[in-house]
Amino acid sequence: MPTAVSQVIRDSLGAALEVAARVGGQAGAELAEAAKGAFINGMDLGLLTGACVAIGACVIALVVLPRRRSPARPTPGGQRDHSAAGRRS
C-alpha cells in the first residue's frame, strides 16, 4: 500500500472506511474491520481516561472543599437556636 494511502488510513476512520470500500473484496473488508477495531480501542481508552479524571476530581472536591454548615434554626419564640442541638452536621 502506498505511503500516502497509509497515512490517510491512519488519520481518520472515515478515510479508512472510504479506502476499504474502494479496495473492495476480502482486503477491503479486513481493512474496514481493522479500522473499526482501532477506533473502538481508542474510544475505550479515551472514555476510561475521562472517567478516571472525573472520579479523581470528585474525590479531590470531597476532600478539599469545606463542608457547608446549615444556618441556625429559629425557635418557636422567634429567636435563633445557636446551640449544638440546633445545628445539623
Q: What is the per-residue pLDDT across 2-21, written as a single tens digit (0 to 9) for each?
A: 777 778 788 889 999 999 99
Angle at 80 between CA 78 and CA 84, to 5 degrees: 140
pLDDT digits (tens, 9 = 90+) for 22-55: 999 999 999 999 999 999 999 999 999 999 999 9
Domain borders along the chain are 9-64
62 vs 77: which has the higher pLDDT? 62
pLDDT-derived band at 79 (thresholds 50, 70, 90) equals low
Work out the average pLDDT over 61-88.
69
Distance CA 39, CA 44 (A): 9
| pLDDT band with cut points at 50, 70 and 90 for residue 56 | very high
> Residue with C-alpha cell 476499504?
20
